[in-house]
Structure formats: C-alpha cells, structure tokens
Amino acid sequence: MTIAILFGGSSFEHEISIVSAITMKKVLKKSTLTFIFVDKDRNFYLVDTAAMKSKHFSSGAYKKDKKLTLKKGGFFTEGIFGSKALGIDVALNLIHGRDGEDGKIASLMEFYAVPFISPRMEASALSYNKLYTKFLAESLGVKVVPYQHLSKNDERVVTLDYPVIVKPVRLGSSIGVSIVKSPEALDYALDTAFEYDNDVVIEPFIEGIEEYNQAGCKTDAWELSIIEEPQKEEFLDFEKKYMDFARDSQVMAANISDDLREAIRESFKKIYDPLFLGSVIRCDFFVVDDEVLLNEINPIPGSMANYLFEDFEGMIGRLAQNLPKEKKIAIDYSYIHSIQRAKGKA
C-alpha cells in the first residue's frame, strides 16, 4: 500500500508535525511512503524519503523539491509533458493544529475525492475547539472537567477555585497553556493565552490527578489501543510534548481495574462513533472520585499514537480499506427542465 504522509501546514504546531512525519518513516516499514510537505505558505512539496530530516525543512532546502498540485483524484507533478499523478492509495493527514485539525485538509481531500485517514469536517470543527469538544461530550453523555470560558474582551473574573489551568481554545501541544495558582498570576496567564487565541477555557488544576490515554479507530471492528497512564509531572510543556511526539516504541499498559478500563473504553466509543469514522484519534481522560471525565480529544495525535498499538501498521491498512464514503448526489437538472417545459421552452 502506498501512503501519502501530509505534514507541516500553516500552524503553531508546524514543527511538531515534521517530527511526527519523520517518526512515520520509522514506524510504517512495510508500506510505500510518499511524503508531502505543506509549507507555511500552503504550497505542496514532494519530499524524497531520504531527505526526511528536520534540517531539510529548517534550512529551506525543501524549496528545491518538486512542487505538487492538488486536483481531482489526487496530487500531481507538473512537467513539459503535462500532469503526472503520484499514484497513492490513501493520504494520512499528519498536520497538527490549524490546517490539519481544523477541517481545511479534510475539506480539500473530500472535494478532490482523495481517500484519506483523518477526522472529517464536522469532527474536525468540534475537536479543534476545546469549548465545542465539551459541548459534544456533554451531548453524548460523557462527563467533562468543570470549565469556564472567557473571550479576549470579557471581564477577567474566574469563578473556579485556584489553582486553575488556562488553555487557548484552538491550540494543542500545551502552547499558551499556564497553571495559575493565585489571582495575582491570572492576568499574565491570560495575556499569554490571548497571544494565540481570542478565547480560552479555564479548568481546575487538580494535582496528582489520575490521567489515562485511549487511542483507537473503527475498521470493520473496533481496534482499541492499550490504555496508557502518562508520566506523572505537574505539567507537560511544549518542549516535553515535542520530544514525546517522536515516540516509536510501544509503551506499557496502565495497571487499572477491568471496570475502569471498560468505563474508559465506553466513553471513547461514544465520542468516536460515528463522528470520527475514518480517523485514528486519542482521547485523554481524567478519573476523579471514580468518575471518568473527558479532558481532551486529540484528533491527530502526535506520531498518530503509534506507540499505543501492537499492530499499528496493520491497523492503518485496515482503516484505509474501511473509510467512510461520501454519498453521491445525482444531478439531472430535472427541476430546471420542468421549469423550461412549463414555459414551453425546449
């Protein structure tokens, strides 16, 4: 199977996407990989597998690579003898943040009829925005962490008890996120967050909270990863998460009860099906007083959360064979023809 890895994008998480794409080179060993880089100006470049090193992008060397165009059916190189299709079986959207997770790439793939692994437009819109994610979860009967929403021009009043955590609504990878332990530190945290977004969510910061990550997808059956208990630190900042996105070795499963494992998986399934069909996502959960609470949805997790699966490459292949199909709409101009006939025109 030939998989096109789409990465980069016009995003604060551009560099993390490059790290994730390089990791796919290590993980998808049996597949034929085609790397398609989206630069900050949203140009598509065909990157040779041997050139998949971070310096190739930071130095600007990628600008010498072949430019690609996106047309009906896929990506094409252009030459004096016309267009030549790349010949891929499926595109894997690995663009973190804006462009990749907000629905732009999903829209392009659907519009140009390119088979792709990624959340579709509606799923992207709801999971890219942390506030909408909470609305979605609550509508599905999945409990969430208590929260408050503030916009940039709102009065800076926090109704939750300190300490709290401040998060930009439309960013991942801990960018712009701060832990606030007193009212005196609030303004600085909000100023930092508002540099990246016009909206924030504020949540209680619970020290030592139990946290668990569940990834998975649905092919012809459920394919769920192990449940991971991430490393215990007060806060995983951008740099720690940046390095975390390069993981390519399977981790150990969390030592939890069967009841808790089932509760986490049931919450994951409620979130995933049917909205996220066609994608591999990771949901991060908190457990408070034996209650499972959704913390975040990672619609395009770092390095696709490959380290949580025993057969990641096989799962990607099976998912590629079970992608949702957009319904075809028959357009026969019958309405216009009926009007013309009524007017006595041919």
Say which CATH number the domain at 172 has: 3.30.1490.20
For residue 130, give its domain range. Answer: 126-144+207-320
SS3 at position 37: strand
Rounded distance, CA 177 to CA 167, Å? 5
Averaged pLDDT of the chain: 91
Task: Name the helix (H) or strand (E) containing 45.
Answer: strand 44-47
The structure's pTM equals 0.88
Mean pLDDT calculated for residue range 256-267: 96
Same domain, 200 and 231: no
Work out the pLDDT band at 282, boundaries 50, 70, 90: very high
Into how many domains does the chain fold? Answer: 3
Q: What is the pLDDT of residue 81?
A: 82
Residue 39 pLDDT more than 80? yes
Q: What is the pLDDT of residues 11-27, one digit of tens each?
A: 989 999 999 999 999 99
pLDDT at res. 247? 65
Same domain assignment for residues 73 and 103: yes
Q: Are residues 193 and 216 in the same domain?
A: no
What are 203-220's pLDDT values in tens digits? 999 888 899 999 999 999
